[in-house]
Amino acid sequence: MASIRAAETGRAAGARLGWAAAVGLPALVFAFPLLYLAWSSLRLGGDLAATVVDPQVLRPLGNSLLLAVTVSIACAALGTAAAVVVARTDVLARRTLTVLLAMPLAIPSFVGATALLTATGPGGLVPFLPRPDGFSGASTVLSLLSYPYVYLPVLARLRATTRSAEEAARLLGAGPWRSLVTIVLPQLRGSVAAGSLLVFLYVLSDFGAVALLRYETITRAIFSTRLLDRSTSVTLGLLLALLALAVAALARLPERAPPTAVRSSAATALRLGAARWPVSVAAWGIVLVALVLPGAVFVVWSVRGSAGLGTAFGGPGDGLGFLAGPVLNSATAALAAAAAGAVFVLPLAIASVRHPGRLTAGASALVTSVLALPGLVTALALVFFAIGAPGPLGLLYQSFPLLILGYVLHFGAQSLRASQAAVAAVPGRLHEAARLLGAGGWRRFRTVDLPSIAPGVLAGAGLVLLSTLKELPATALLAPIGFDTLATTIYFAAEDGFFAEVGVASLVLVSVSAVLTWLLILRPQLRSASGASDG
């Protein structure tokens, strides 16, 4: 009997040690970028306090904050209005419009900036419009492509909200517009704030659009000083990381998953009447400017071709063999990052749900907080670590494993949240039944947990895959020499003026991203809304 108890005690201790390792290892890895930047800044003699008040830093920092605030406000207004229109009015072709209004999410910012640059000015599709750059160009592009971060959570909130309060207000004599303003809009404040925070952090970390549009921001300063002035680059990276984390902490970084839908009437709440056509034109105008026009620009440039020296694609007569490498590299990196991220954070997801406590809560919060770090900052920490790493670790510099690690650190929180939701949805009675039948922990995981959580884990991996396809600064810094992806191909072709290459590569990237956006984000929302309406 004593030996049995000792064995059970040993197994329990081993299990606790295993869970501690499963929780502690991801926490340490995800804490690495910020800790290394802080240590490296001190080692290189960086002075964070002096950097903050340096006029040469204040200008790009102020520009970054101005751009982030402006775009956040614009997206809050645009995204909320679009969601209310498709969820609460009889706008024309409402279901189709619901899907298309979310599709700009599939267009990377540097792709949208390229479309704006090539469509305007001399030689563009609309040559009478001046070619925008600087703040006006960056704010326009980022607003048109980022409003879905507000649109989607607000739309989910509207679908998850019962209309009984609106109907009661109507019975008490309130008109449709008054009930909309007094009843509906106040319920959306949390979703609007959550989406606006995501926009703020996204704009703060953007590099591709601001670089192409020649707007001086802190991300451009970090990128330009990374080789010649490591101390300044590291200190600026640390400053940007602390700023992003402070903003996320103050506003509480929101969950990306929409709230659970409740039973709700499917009837249209607000008839637009004479305003139906103007509102419909405005809503479809957003789709035209943010989605259709960029696609048209790329199609025209692909057909028109280019005759510049060094271009890999001159027009429809040329083959698309030059895209084979970038497409293969993009797919390989995205699939590897998705798989690695899902496997790496799954033990933490299980531990945080099944064994809640300070350790698991702190580790989950740490992984989630890294989502607020700009990809450029995470990549910068990994690059400088690999450059100065001793022995075999030095071989990591510009290697494929380091690239995948950068993706996992930057986007791992997306996989963690999806996996946590999947684990929490597994009924506890299934575990109890399996335990009573004599199944051990590993067998319960294989036969009970894994089949149940697989769809959620795969959904989280899909989000990492989508984000990886569109990531530019981390790829540019971490990718091995000659490892071109669709993102880097588009960016460098745009810088060189090879717009036919830009057009073809952008069409491929946006098409793949659009399919993934539909499968991973829009389709589940539409299904849940349909199920709520049917219920």
pLDDT tens-digit readout, 288-335: 988 888 888 888 877 776 555 455 555 555 666 778 888 999 999 999
506 within 8 A of 327, measured Cβ to Cβ = no
Write phi, then psi, for 89 (nearest 5 degrees): -130, 175
Q: How confident is the model at residue 432 (pLDDT cuts 50, 70, 90)?
A: low
Q: Write down the mean pLDDT value for the chain.
A: 77
Average pLDDT over residues 164-181: 54
pLDDT at 311: 59
- The β-bridge partners of 120 are 126
pLDDT at 242: 81
Q: How confident is the model at residue 67 (pLDDT cuts 50, 70, 90)?
A: very high
- The β-bridge partners of 89 are 270
pTM over 0.75: yes
Tell me how far apart the alpha carbons of residues 348 and 25 are, in angstroms, rounded to a whole number: 9
pLDDT at 525: 65
Q: Which domains does the chain have, with CATH numbers?
A: 24-267+290-534 (1.10.3720.10)
**Exposure class string for 302-318: b at 16+ Cβ within 10 A, else e:** beebbeeeebbbeeeee
The token pair at 404 is 């995948």
The segment with the largest mean pLDDT, out of 12-26, 83-97, 185-199, 415-429, is 83-97
- Transcribe 69-113 into DSSP letters: HHHHHHHHHHHHHHHHHHHHB--TTHHHHHHHTTGGGGS-HHHHH
pLDDT at 339: 92
Least confident of 96-105, 256-265, 266-275, 423-432: 256-265
Q: How confident is the model at residue 251 (pLDDT cuts 50, 70, 90)?
A: low
Taking 60 as the threshold, does the pLDDT of residue 117 lie above it? yes
DSSP 8-state assignment for residue 107: S
- Give the residue carrying structure tokens 């995204």: 79
Please list, in sequence order, all residues whose beta carbon lies within 8 angstroms of the beta carbon of residue 283, skipping any fewer than 6 positions away.
82, 85, 86, 91, 97, 101
- Stronger pLDDT, 451 or 151, i.e. the higher one: 151
Torsion of CA 299, 305, 306, 307, to 10 degrees: 180
Taking only the tens place, the pLDDT of each residue in 34-47 is 888 888 877 777 66
Average pLDDT over residues 521-526: 72
The segment with the largest mean pLDDT, out of 18-22, 125-129, 205-209, 317-321, is 205-209
- Stronger pLDDT, 158 or 314, i.e. the higher one: 158
413 by DSSP, 3-state: which? helix
Average pLDDT over residues 410-419: 83
89 by DSSP, 3-state: which? strand
- In 3D space, the residue among 146, 134, 145, 121 whose CA is nearest the CA of residue 295 turns out to be 145
Query: In which element (H, E) is residue 305 found?
Result: none
pLDDT at 257: 42
Q: How confident is the model at residue 461 (pLDDT cuts 50, 70, 90)?
A: confident
CA 358 to chain centre: 27
pLDDT at 139: 94
% residues pLDDT > 70 (the chain): 75
Write phi, then psi, for 129 (nearest 5 degrees): -90, 130
Taking only the tens place, the pLDDT of each residue in 372-390 is 677 888 888 888 888 877 7
270 by DSSP, 3-state: which? strand
Least confident of 149-153, 247-251, 275-279, 377-381: 247-251
- Stronger pLDDT, 334 or 133, i.e. the higher one: 334
pLDDT at 156: 78
The token pair at 139 is 């704010």
Please list, in sequence order, all residues whose beta carbon lies within 8 angstroms of the beta carbon of residue 251, skipping any fewer than 6 positions away.
193, 197
pLDDT at 179: 59
Tell me how far apart the alpha carbons of residues 509 and 513 are, in angstroms, rounded to a whole number: 6
Write phi, then psi, for 91 (nearest 5 degrees): -60, 150
- Give the residue carrying structure tokens 């993934």: 516
pLDDT at 502: 81
pLDDT at 431: 62
Average pLDDT over residues 170-186: 57
- The β-bridge partners of 270 are 89
User: Ramachandran region of residue 275, left (φ > 0), alpha (ψ -120 to 50) or beta?
Assistant: alpha
Taking 70 as the threshold, does the pLDDT of residue 513 lie above it? yes
DSSP 8-state assignment for residue 125: S
Average pLDDT over residues 208-215: 88
Q: How confident is the model at residue 526 (pLDDT cuts 50, 70, 90)?
A: low
Average pLDDT over residues 22-33: 79
pLDDT at 329: 93
Q: How confident is the model at residue 63 (pLDDT cuts 50, 70, 90)?
A: very high
Taking 90 as the threshold, does the pLDDT of residue 337 lie above it? yes
- In 3D space, the residue among 205, 207, 204, 192 whose CA is nearest the CA of residue 251 turns out to be 192
pLDDT at 436: 62
Tell me how far apart the alpha carbons of residues 369 and 355 are, in angstroms, rounded to a whole number: 21
The token pair at 121 is 């000015």
Q: How confident is the model at residue 262 (pLDDT cuts 50, 70, 90)?
A: very low
Taking 90 as the threshold, does the pLDDT of residue 68 lie above it? yes
